[in-house]
Amino acid sequence: MNNGRLKVAVIMGSDSDFPTLKGCIKILKDFGVEYKVMVCSAHRTPEKAAEIAKNAESEGFGVIIAAAGKAAHLPGVLAAYTPIPVIGVPIKASTLDGLDALLSIVQMPTGIPVATVAIDGADNAALLAIQILSVADNELRGKMKNYKEKLASKVDEKNLALQEILSMEGL
């Protein structure tokens, strides 16, 4: 399994959020982080949301990723019931292009913090969760360092390719 490593809960307000979260789930899997994915609505199943959050720590979760659109109360509701970090993913799900969800998630009252990524930024939520867990997990920290080195190498490769094009075009 995960050798005692903390897990990540990935909770979406609706199954329609799943396509946005697929990349997030794949990143967690690629890094070897155990996760549990579920649907839970802050408005339609508030008791279930409270139960999930209250039990998260005892069930071995170190971070919760919560995705929601429109009013997007799920991340805040979960954060109200747990001491572990919650990362909110605002979903572009309405005529306001996700701005409503973004504002709902970032405007949390003092004492109930929710880290927030970009609208539909689920991949970054996974990476942030991994970075949070890596504070106490050297193996994960090493994987994150390697990941960032690969990102930098890709940028260097793109720069070299651009320099070739510029040279060939006499620019």
Which tens digits make up the pLDDT trace of 52-89? 999 999 999 999 999 999 989 999 999 999 999 999 99
Average pLDDT of the residues in 161-165: 96
From residue 158, give the alpha-carbon distance in Å to each of 7, 10, 117, 152: 35, 33, 26, 10
- Alpha-carbon distance of 122 to 24, in angstroms, equals 5
Q: What's the pTM?
A: 0.93
Q: Output the pLDDT for position 1.
A: 44
Termini Cα distance of the chain: 55
Q: 7-136 architecture in CATH?
A: 3-Layer(aba) Sandwich (3.40)
Give the model's pLDDT for residue 95. 80
Chain Cα centroid distance, residue 31: 14
3-state class of 110 per DSSP? coil
Q: How far apart are CA 73 and CA 4, in angstroms?
A: 31
